Amino acid sequence: MFEPDQKKAELVPQTRNWRERAIMLALLAASSVAVLTTVGIVASLIFESIQFFRIVPFTDFVFGLHWSPQMAIREDQVGSSGAFGAIPLLVGTLLISAVALTISAPVGLMSAIYLGEYASPKMRSIIKPTLEVLAGIPTVVYGFFAVVVVAPLLRQGGESIGLSVSSESALAAGFVMGIMTIPFVSSISDDAISAVPSSLKEAALGLGSTRSEAIKNVIVPAALPGIAGGILLAASRVIGETMIVVMAAGLTAKLTLNPLDAVTTVTVQIVTLLTGDQEFDSPKTLSAFALGLLLFTITLALNVTALKIVKAYREQYD
């Protein structure tokens, strides 16, 4: 009665196949953009850094204790040879990050514990998204707040107890960064804590421990790898953070561990070196790329370690 058109039936799949192959290639190409980006980042950083290390020895950069990236305009200028030792910048970065993490790690973890273990579901559904707002605020806003509110407050507070606090202290920048990363730590800790099977907690409670004892002795130890991973990720975030330190931290490199002093960071120096008009092949601008490479390596190492810790030490409860 109805004869299927043989020819047509064959033709459709063929054009379809051809088209599908093209689509598949396009999809693959889109996925490769991520790889291209990584390659682009690594290649451009390494390429510019090699040019920099031709002028300034690698060891001077990595082990040098002095950072003052001026280059001579004239040959005979005083102090014409700039110093490109990255250690003071690294110490400054680590100092500010340490201040930030001493705030965000305990506060973030305790917030996660409160929301997960103590708060009623209704309270949790209100507080959790509100806390997440902290992570959504652009960092330039935090920087402005650090300069206008936090730094003067710390300065006044310091004066009243006889301490001289620099107006661009590591404490102000670190404090604000710590607050910024609270939701970061707390949401990862929350995930880790809720992954601990409730039977463990119930067993502890059933044996007569109080809630806080169950949390401290059973839940947190079981969730520790996840929590540690979260803190490492927060550390990588804090080290790479730029605007808060550009606005609230200092510009001059100083080798100190006193959080009341003004220090500068890797990211601050990259911004100062590259904003404004400079010729592109001077060691001054090239050094920014070497700093970028340093920053990329450190954050990458932290991220990879964090993911490894989470994967390797995750307790299996199935």
Does position 16 interact with other proteins (CB under 8 A)? The reply is yes
Measured between alpha carbons, how far is 119 from 115 in angstroms, rounded to an integer? 5
Contact indicator for 180, 131 with CB cutoff of 8 Å: no
Nearer to other proteins among residue 224 and residue 271 (C-beta): 271
> Which backbone phi and psi does 310 adopt, to 5 degrees?
-60, -40
11 binds other proteins (CB under 8 A): no
**Among the candidate windows 62-70, 79-87, 166-174, 263-271, which touches other proteins by CB under 8 A?**
263-271
Query: 162-191: which residues touch other proteins (CB under 8 A)?
Result: 179, 182-183
Note whether 38 binds other proteins by CB under 8 A.
yes
The reply on whether position 31 binds other proteins by CB under 8 A is yes
Which of positions 57-86 make contact with other proteins (CB under 8 A)? Answer: none
User: Toward other proteins, which CB reaches closer, 59 or 156?
Assistant: 156
Indicate the SS3 state at residue 83. Answer: strand
Q: Which residue has the tokens 């929350």?
A: 190
104 in Cβ contact with 182 (< 8 Å): yes
Shortest Å distance, C-beta 110 to other proteins: 4
Q: How far apart are CA 56 and CA 290, in angstroms?
A: 11
Q: Total residues contacting other proteins (rule CB under 8 A)? A: 88
- Which segment (59-67, 70-78, 154-162, 290-298) binds other proteins by CB under 8 A? 290-298
Which of 11, 18, 23, 217 touches other proteins (CB under 8 A)?
Answer: 23
| 269 near other proteins, judged by CB under 8 A | no
Does residue 301 interact with other proteins by CB under 8 A?
Answer: no
For other proteins, which is the closer residue by CB, 216 or 314?
216
The distance of closest approach from Cβ of residue 142 to other proteins in the complex, given in angstroms and rounded to an integer, is 8
Angle at 106 between CA 104 and CA 109, to 5 degrees: 95
Q: Which of residues 191-250 bind other proteins (CB under 8 A)?
A: 208, 210-213, 215-216, 233, 236-237, 239-243, 246-247
Binding status of residue 155 toward other proteins by CB under 8 A: no
Q: Which of helix, strand or coil describes residue 67? A: strand
Nearer to other proteins, 282 or 296 (CB): 296
Amino acid at the residue 299: T
Partnered with residue 262 across adjacent β-strands are 169
C-alpha closest to that of 248 among 149, 113, 318:
149
Task: Please say whether the beta carbons of 213 and 247 come within 8 A.
Answer: no
User: Considering only residues 85, 91, 95, 111, which one is a binding residue for other proteins as defined by CB under 8 A?
Assistant: 111
- DSSP label at 207? T
Is the Cβ–Cβ distance between 283 and 205 less than 8 Å? no
Length of the chain: 318
